């Protein structure tokens, strides 16, 4: 096990599966103690068992990112359990599909509450602990969808992910006052559990649109998060890192033929 994050303590939201689980595992492999947070406690326990088989200390904690009180309790738990809180990976998110004409106010609010409000509550809950120690690393999981691209059925998702970047840029100015940074990774298509049921035809067409010819693995995103959470990125704040295999580069499909 490497030790790029030795003595650091990370809180990772949405850690029960997919990108969040990969982030929790990757940070723990590099020596960080991790509080893995999710609303799905059963899935979280399974994820922690899997991670601890090959990595360092990872503890589960059930919390709903839509609740500031829940996230304050999570931050306090990390400090009580491990002595400090130096890294936040705000990753929890949902991506249900609903075209605009059929989308309800409930559909819209649910996605914005989890994805965008969840970033706010997570960061706000962790800031006092980072301010106290004069150090912190925050990494948000945004997306290429919204900030750069669009996809039918995801107006609410795109708005939430673009909104995270507006939040990040002003937060970066405020957090710089006490030595903390905040950045965002912007994944393209990632082969998580959510894509397993979409069918091979969809996956084939999606791979065709990516210059590198394949979807990302969750660990690819986790590696980018690791960099932004490490000392190597100490002079980077308010920035984005696209991890998409070149998906946003082609001017049209003709560029890939």
Structural domain count of the chain: 1
Order of strands across the sheet with 58-62? 58-62, 33-38, 9-13, 87-90, 136-141, 180-187, 240-243
Length of the chain: 257
Catalytic residue among 135, 157, 202, 235: 157
Active site residue 157: yes
Q: pTM of the prediction?
A: 0.96
Residue pLDDT, tens place only, 101-110: 999 999 999 9
What confidence category does residue 20 fall into, taking pLDDT thresholds of 50, 70 and 90?
very high
Q: Say if 154 falls within a structural domain.
A: yes
Q: What is the span of the domain harbouring residue 51? A: 9-256
Q: Say if 100 falls within a structural domain.
A: yes
Q: What is the C-alpha to C-alpha distance for residues 109 and 105, in angstroms, rounded to an integer? A: 6
On whether the CB atoms of residues 229 and 154 are closer than 8 A, the answer is no
pLDDT of 1 strictly over 60: no
Q: Say if 3 falls within a structural domain.
A: no
Mean pLDDT over all residues of the chain?
94
63 vs 16, 167, 185, CA distance in Å? 12, 22, 23
Residue pLDDT, tens place only, 218-230: 999 999 999 999 9
Q: Say if 4 falls within a structural domain.
A: no
The CATH number given to whatever domain includes residue 181 is: 3.40.50.720
Residue 220: CB partners within 8 Å, gap ≥ 6?
190, 243
Poorest-confidence range of 36-45, 99-108, 192-201, 243-252? 192-201
């Amino acid at each position: 096990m490497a030790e790029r994050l030795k003595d650091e303590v990370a809180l990772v939201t949405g850690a029960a599966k997919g990108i969040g689980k990969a982030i929790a595992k990757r940070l723990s492999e590099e020596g960080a103690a991790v509080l893995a947070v999710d609303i799905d406690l059963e899935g979280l326990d399974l994820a922690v068992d899997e991670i601890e088989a090959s990595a360092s200390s990872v503890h589960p904690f059930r919390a709903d990112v839509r609740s500031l009180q829940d996230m304050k309790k999570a931050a306090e738990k990390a400090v009580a359990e491990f002595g400090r809180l130096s890294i936040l990976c705000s990753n929890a998110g949902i991506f249900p599909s609903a075209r605009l004409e059929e989308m309800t106010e409930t559909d819209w609010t649910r996605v914005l509450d989890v994805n965008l409000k969840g970033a706010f509550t997570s960061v706000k809950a962790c800031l006092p602990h980072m301010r106290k120690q004069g150090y912190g690393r925050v990494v948000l999981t945004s997306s290429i969808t919204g900030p750069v691209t669009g996809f039918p059925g995801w107006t609410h998702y795109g708005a939430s992910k673009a909104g995270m970047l507006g939040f990040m840029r002003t937060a970066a100015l405020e957090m710089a006052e006490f030595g903390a940074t905040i950045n965002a990774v912007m994944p393209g298509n990632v082969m998580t559990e959510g894509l397993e049921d979409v069918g091979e035809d969809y996956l084939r067409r999606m791979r065709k649109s990516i210059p590198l010819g394949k979807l990302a693995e969750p660990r690819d995103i986790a590696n980018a998060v690791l960099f932004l959470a490490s000392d190597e990125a100490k002079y980077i704040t308010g920035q984005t890192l696209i991890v998409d295999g070149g998906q946003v580069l082609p001017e049209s499909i003709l560029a890939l033929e």
